[in-house]
Amino acid sequence: MYQWRKFEFFEEKYGGKSSIPEEVTAGKIECCSSGRGKVVIGCDDGTVSLLDRGLKFNFSFQSHSSSVLFLQHLKQRNFLVTVGEDEQISPQQSAMCLKVFDLDKMQSEGTSAATTPDCIGILRIFTNQFPEANITSFLVLEEAPPILLMAIGLDNGCIYCIKGDIARERITRFKLQVDNVSDKSHSSITGLGFRVDGQALQLFAVTPDSVSLFSMHNQPPRRQTLDQIGCNFNSVTMSDRLELIIGRPEAVYFYEVDGRGPCWAFEGEKKFLGWFRGYLLCVIADQRTGKDTFNVYDLKNRLIAHSLVVKEVSHMLCEWGNIILIMTDKSTLCIGEKDMESKLDMLFKKNLYTVAINLVQSQQADAAATAEVLRKYGDHLYSKQDYDEAMAQYISTIGHLEPSYVIQKFLDAQRIYNLTNYLEKLHEKGLASKDHTTLLLNCYTKLKDVEKLNVFIKSEDGAGEHKFDVETAIRVCRAANYHEHAMYVAKKAGRHELYLKILLEDLGRYEEALQYISSLEPSQAGVTVKEYGKILIEHKPVKTIEILMRLCTEDGESTKRESSSSTYLTMLPSPVDFLNIFIHHPPSLMDFLEKYTDKVKDSPAQLEIHNTLLELYLSNDLNFPSISQASNGVDHTLKARSGSSVMPKAESKSKPSADRKDTSKERDRMERREKGLRLLKSAWPSDLEQPLYDVDLAIILCEMNAFKEGLLYLYEKMKLYKEVIACYMQSQDHEGLIACCKKLGDSGKGGDPSLWADLLKYFGELGEDCSKEVKDVLTYIERDDILPPIIVLQTLSRNPCLTLSVIKDYIARKLEQESKLIEEDRRAIEKYQEDTLTMRKEIQDLRTNARIFQLSKCTACTFTLDLPAVHFMCMHSFHQRCLGDNEKECPECAPEYRSVLETKRSLEQNSKDQDRFFQQVKSSKDGFSVIAEYFGKGIISKTSNGSTGTGRTGETSSSSGF
């Protein structure tokens, strides 16, 4: 006891000057109890007083007529159980009674203002079966309200137990025998204690010479002797762990159900024993000074939390979070525990950090508070340069203390070993950031501790994730040239792109990289090839293309699937997705796309693939225009390879080699152009309106690279015949030009005859002798009557190198043909003039002379004509009854007349359609004939002067449209 440190973790409340209220001082205090925020005091005059917080008097009442020996305030229900002496009714009955008061039910006493609780049950303790003896201890257990279990200890070594509902008088009694010692001083029950553990109910019983345990759940209760030593009155209590505690002069003993437990050697007579929030309370009589000392023991931390010299104590209670000592002079002492912060401040001032740590851990403080104490302890050790112990404290704060606080300290102290230890613990608990990973790996590499690096990198459990940031670890390992470790992390984390980055950029192991890509899932392999394909194509083009073919065509599955399944093809990567990796290696791209198109005929991306292939095939130097290094037909790449600083003699020696290279290059270009022309034709089948490539792009490529054959095919396929002959004109290929016009200018085969007119215009403006070609052209122009002779003369007159002999025969034939046509027209005019003159005479005769109708029969019914009759100017006669209602038209001539009117009306309607008229004029070989036809039909006539108003309506309306 004297070796334990003493601290002032408790302080006196209410200024240390409190006492029992005057209202209670009338009698001697016999017993006390606490609970439900009240302190209950029983006196020898039979009164019971209740005190509020601060020992303020609340009320009192008369519970027994003589004295109150024992009382207990229940916790679950606001009941008060008292044991005291009342008036003796008869000599045979004992005056000792047990009463139960309901403190929630108050009733007035007669006319006075005083009130008393309702007494719900009165019970005589001693009966014939349970003879009277002195009561030495009393304890009540609330089993399940209203069921109570009351244990009454006697001076004869017996325990009377009463169980049941006293208010309803439903009780059972039984007796427990502890000792059979004749000497009452050694057999008195000095203390009782209930232990409830689940369904098990046990009762501790203490006498001066023994400690016993009764198992109450057995019937009858089974007794077990735990020890052959005991204690005196007031030296028995129960801990919050359901342990029995007894105090003897030499020590304090703890008992559990299986016997004696720990023993604490505190010397001195134990006058009072108690338990408060894990603290052991003792009032010890010091034999040397003759004074009593009140000690509060912290058994876990082996310290005295409070020590105070006190006067003679009569009772000890715990209520309101305080310890209450009642002295024999009715003065009181209230002691309360200080807050944790005050206790820690006290310890920090004395540098008692280990005590502070034990204190916060024993009182189950929150982790943040514990970490703060550990931090201060670590700071203290760090200031003493005890770095290893300081780091041990800092490691215990992980999760609550900011890591940078610790890292900064040990970086400044250059304690790299301690820092490494701290960072390892951070990673083990999964609280490390990217910067912490970087720092730890740098520590390993600076220490060149490959073994620890291996443990950190490779000793991860396969089930969980990495305890560090993967990218950071890889970056640091690469920077420190620990490539194998970086690759291990990348592979285990599934970071394929980082794994390949190390293989390709740092180690240059291209074969291994390709094997790794082949082992990946297709989707992952596709992503990695897109990122690192440029490097792979540069060093391993053939194997890279093989991987691409597997990705885009799934060779392993091709036998199981139909290659024509567009749905399946759309699920595979498209070759277009990988074009960017071939940016500096067009030959490899051409090889890849050719293999793909040979294998897959109906790819969803065939339009883009054909466009790219055309660009490669038609390019002069097999390069993309965007990155072409050629200028003015000179390949700077070849220049760079041959070396610009070589002497002239060396240049002359290398000239044959350069010629061979040029020859090979030209041969390659011609082969590619042949492939390009085949692609242009094969990708535009006759059954498709549009080709499987971009026509505009194909034309541009052919133009840029002067690919005449491709242009001619595209223009002819698109029916752009004028552009076709323009190509021949541009190259001055006269034989090809005429042959092309023969093919494309035949209207019988869907050609365009106007091509001959363009061809004639070309030769007319050529400026050189081309008599043979002109004669061939005139043959076809004359055959199909494409141009009038005057136009032919005007066109050919522009070429000064042509003579009249070229067109002499053509003009002669045309003049003879025109003369025949003129003669035929003259005869037709004369005939029409005669017919017109005859018609005019007939009209004049009708207007001036009378007509004699001599028909004797009706035209309709062929019967003899009688009156009334109707005669028409067309020389038809009818009975009036045969005409019906229509007497103004001849039934025989009306249909013909109506058809003429309908034709005229249609012509007048057509005269308003200007677009149709001009379209006919434009599309006709001889526009004048169309205009003449319109005049001949009367659609276009001279418009009458509007002021006369005599013009015909039909003529005016028909001409108003033009």
The full 3-state SS of 158-223, as one line of letters, equals: EEEEEEEECCCCEEEEEEEECCCCCCHHHHCCCEEEEEEECCEEEEEEEECCEEEEEECCCCCCEE
Contact (Cβ atoms closer than 8 angstroms) between residue 40 and residue 33: yes
> What is the residue-averaged pLDDT of the chain?
78
How many alpha carbons fall within 13 Å on the CB side of residue 951? 16
Strands (E), 627-757: 630-631, 634-635
Q: Residue 50's beta-bridge partner residues?
A: 40, 59
Q: How confident is the model at residue 140 (pLDDT cuts 50, 70, 90)?
A: very high
For residues 689 and 168, what is the distance between their CA atoms, to the nearest angstrom?
Answer: 108
**pLDDT level of residue 158 (50, 70, 90 thresholds):** very high
Residues in contact with 180: Cβ distance below 8 Å, sequence separation at least 6, in sequence order: 157, 187
Residue 682 pLDDT level (bands cut at 50, 70, 90): confident
| Distance (Å) of CA 229 to CA 205, 415, 778 | 12, 59, 149
Alpha helices in 481-521 (DSSP H): 483-492, 496-501, 510-518
- Residue 561, pLDDT > 70, answer no
Counting Cβ atoms within 10 Å, is residue 379 exposed (0-12), middle (13-18) or buried (19+)?
middle
Tens digits of per-residue pLDDT, 471-493? Answer: 777 777 766 666 666 677 667 66
Which pLDDT band, with edges at 50, 70 and 90, does 354 fall under? confident
The pLDDT value given to residue 16: 62
Question: Between the ranges 394-403, 666-675, 798-807, where is the mean pLDDT highest?
Answer: 394-403
Q: Using CA atoms, how far apart are residues 290 and 70, in angstroms rounded to an integer? A: 29
List of E strands, 753-852:
none
Residues 819-827 have a mean pLDDT of 89
> Span 285-294, mean pLDDT?
85
pLDDT at 42 over 60: yes
Confidence class for position 163, pLDDT limits 50, 70, 90: very high
Which of 10-14, 686-690, 764-768, 802-806 holds the top average pLDDT?
10-14
Distance CA 466, CA 473 (A): 10
| For the ranges 623-637, 678-692, 770-784, the one whose mean pLDDT is highest | 678-692
Residue pointed to by tokens 């206790």: 343
pLDDT for the residue numbered 756: 72
pLDDT band at 8 (very low <50, low <70, confident <90, very high): confident
pLDDT band at 15 (very low <50, low <70, confident <90, very high): low
Is residue 591's pLDDT more than 50? yes
User: pLDDT digit string (tens) for 305-331?
Assistant: 899 999 889 999 999 889 999 988 888
Confidence of residue 600 (pLDDT cuts 50, 70, 90): confident
Contacting residues for 378 by C-beta, under 8 A, at least 6 apart: 390, 391, 393, 394, 397, 406
Q: Which residue has the higher pLDDT, 563 or 75?
A: 75
Reduced to 3 states (helix: H, G, I; strand: E, B; else coil), residue 299 is: coil
Percent of the chain, pLDDT > 70?
77
Element (H, E) at 481: none
pLDDT value of position 101:
92
Structure letter (DSSP) for residue 229: -
For residue 508, name the pLDDT band (cuts at 50, 70, 90): low
Provide the b/e sequence for 612-633 (b: ≥16 CB within 10 Å): bbbbbbbbbbbbbeeeeeeeee
Residue 631: which pLDDT band, with cuts at 50, 70 and 90?
very low
Q: Which of 7-11, 524-528, 682-686 has the lowest mean pLDDT?
A: 524-528
- pLDDT score recorded for residue 493: 65
DSSP H helix total and E strand total for the chain: 35, 34
DSSP classification of residue 589: H
Whole-number Å distance between alpha carbons of 332 and 558: 99
How is residue 625 annotated by DSSP?
G
Residue 711, pLDDT above cutoff 50: yes
Residue 747: both structure tokens together: 């209207």
What is d(CA 647, CA 8) in angstroms, rounded to the nearest whole number? Answer: 102
Parallel, antiparallel or unpaired: strands 303-310 and 5-6:
parallel
Name the H helices within 307-429.
340-349, 353-362, 367-383, 387-396, 403-412, 416-428
Who has greater pLDDT, 363 or 147? 147
**Region 380-386 average pLDDT:** 85
Highest mean pLDDT among 20-29, 445-454, 752-761: 20-29
Two tokens at 627? 């990155």
Is pLDDT at 807 greater than 80 in this prediction?
no
**pLDDT confidence bin for 937, thresholds 50/70/90:** low
Could you tell me if 206 and 246 are in contact, meaning their C-beta atoms sit under 8 angstroms apart?
A: yes
Taking only the tens place, the pLDDT of each residue in 757-767 is: 666 777 766 76
Segment among 123-127, 182-186, 204-208 with least mean pLDDT? 182-186
Is the peptide bond preceding residue 146 cis, with omega within 30 degrees of 0? yes
Tell me how far apart the alpha carbons of residues 252 and 267 are, in angstroms, rounded to a whole number.
Answer: 9
What value does the CA radius of gyration of the chain take, rounded to a whole number of Å?
A: 64
What residues contact residue 895 under an 8 Å CB cut-off, 6+ apart? none
- pLDDT, one tens digit per residue, over 863-880 is 888 888 888 878 888 888
The structure's pTM equals: 0.52
* 625 pLDDT more than 50: no
Give the tens place of pLDDT for each residue, 416-460.
Answer: 878 888 888 888 787 877 778 778 777 777 777 677 666 666 665
- The pLDDT value given to residue 627: 37
* CA atoms in the 13 A half-sphere facing the CB of 219: 0
Whole-angstrom distance, CA of residue 436 vs CA of residue 410: 14
Per-residue pLDDT, averaged over 136-143, amounts to 91
Residue 178 has pLDDT above 80, yes or no: yes
| Model pLDDT for residues 81-97, shown as the tens digit of each residue | 999 988 876 666 778 89
- Across residues 280-295, what is the average pLDDT? 88
Which stretch of DSSP H or E encloses residue 35?
Answer: strand 29-35
Q: Is the pLDDT of residue 644 over 70?
A: no
pLDDT of residue 647: 39
Q: Can you give the pLDDT at residue 39?
A: 92
Q: Which has the minimum average pLDDT: 133-147, 159-173, 565-579, 934-948?
A: 934-948
Q: Which residue has the higher pLDDT, 169 or 282?
A: 282
Q: Rounded to the nearest 5 degrees, what angle is found at the Cα of 933, between the Cα atoms of 928 and 938?
A: 130
Contacts by residues 79-88 (CB-CB < 8 Å, ≥ 24 positions apart): 79/103, 79/120, 80/33, 80/40, 80/48, 80/117, 81/140, 81/148, 81/150, 82/42, 82/48, 83/125, 83/135, 83/138, 83/152, 84/42, 84/46, 85/46
| 407 confidence band (pLDDT: 50, 70, 90) | confident
Close Cβ partners of 459 (under 8 Å, ≥ 6 residues apart) = none
